[in-house]
A and B are shown apart, each in its own frame.
Chain A
């Protein structure tokens, strides 16, 4: 045993609350400590993931209460993969936002990193926990820190975005709690594995109602249309790295929750087609909304929403290939969209409006950033030889294997729309004349480093997808095997 999953929650949570105290000792510590914590967690996560891929999942019991009574954490290949991904992105976000804009000063940096650590704690907790109420708590931790991070900048419209987020987040938590209580009143348990074992005993109508409430509540975080009104605003107004964190960490956690409910807990066969329908609507609306977008980060936000829709569609196939494709898509999206947010926020660094116009001609001033943005744009629309191609191919293969011809047609048509708006931005960066009043800002060394790492990963996966596919196959197998999950959790003594 190389470590236990509970560290993923305990350490960052502890760090989050220690940051203000440490800041009293030496102010720089508020910036350094999160990085140390995340580095440690990343090493731990990789170790555990390696262990899990070989030896099978680790189930951690909290405080000696054996499931189904106590809370347990499950570090399987599936959840472990997501945790590793989140912590990796968290680390990159930390490197990138070290002394980023307002973070140069002590006071904002303190709040920023505190909330960032909370955000990561919450998201990792959502993925690891095996208890639905505990998941509710983690979702709330994530949400509250996300509200805070959205409203991080003063003077912009960030408070407006954050308020919308709060409104919808509260409604989400209401529905989540309702759904949890319906399950509890019917089955008398909150443990996921136990619920999964007993779910067939439930009143069918109540089962469907609770599922709908779950999807609604989590769908608000997972940006499903029409529950995603907050998302473009929040992405656009939050600091650039936070946008990456939303796309790479928070949304992934919410999608994980939906998938866990659909695949493991509920036994509704039609919930898969439901996922396809809502995912498809989300994809179409979001991508078409992006095409005439005038603000860069808003465009990226819509693109992110659309990709999440596609992920849900892929999960909705309900086959092993579908899950594999969806996980691949989640991985690629996390990496590529982070790169786009990272490089994009330097392309419009000094602007308050963040208009797409302002990236005009930036390639002359920020050559590396522009190139990386272009690589990201090419990758996200799925052009080979970049990473996005393989996930798109696997999504389509999965669709064909499930005989979803209409889905394929729609996905590909939407891809064309996506292509158009990304190409327009890239063309602006490279071929347009610079607007007179834009002031390019050279990226700092750490930001550049993060972007280069992400670009290298995109190329690596593009040229050598085997680097990740083995792990993804194991992760998808671990998600699909519901009986094993129940057994692993409930056989603990």
Chain B
């Protein structure tokens, strides 16, 4: 990581239902530094806290203890300054707003002038290649197209960071692979830092410059694996021996990770 850190996580713990007998440790002693411009995947089995970690970074959930900085600020300040954009598993578009007006929303909230947010939203739709669907309503779009609108919306306020919480999880395999390629193309254009949560090994390897492997109960960072496959990556990348090698490395790291505390 030659680049300076844009996100740093130090000794972060998250306990749900703390103090009660149903307390669950979702994150334990997480230390993680993410460099500017990286494409990081948080990978792990369900229940390993990868989504929780992302939500803590995004200030959607407060950590129980520990410190973190996002773009050099406390997460709350970074959120208020719209330093990051976020894409969720469900597109979550507002069904009463047209595609264009959905993409305008972040800059509207920021108090931008109409001509500014209108122009920016059109530019973003151009970026995700949905310009001609600007006047459509979300229910008229397929799931994959809705997710592309959500990406345009997340990027419309020019954030430094893009948080993505299993954004392709609800799509079928074909759409999924197509959107992975699309996402890399967009990332090549905008060059934000991406933190991407997934439970798919091949998705993590194909997209990321670095894969953070997490283990479950309690959620911990088990391994960090650099993926030095050159960008731009294409469909052909998926069939190279180097790709398979990386997939194997990551899979091994996942399986070597302690799965339950009782076993450790």
The finding on whether chains A and B are genuine partners in a shared complex, rather than unrelated, reads: no
Footprint of B on A, CB under 8 Å? none
Binding site for A on B (CB under 8 A): none
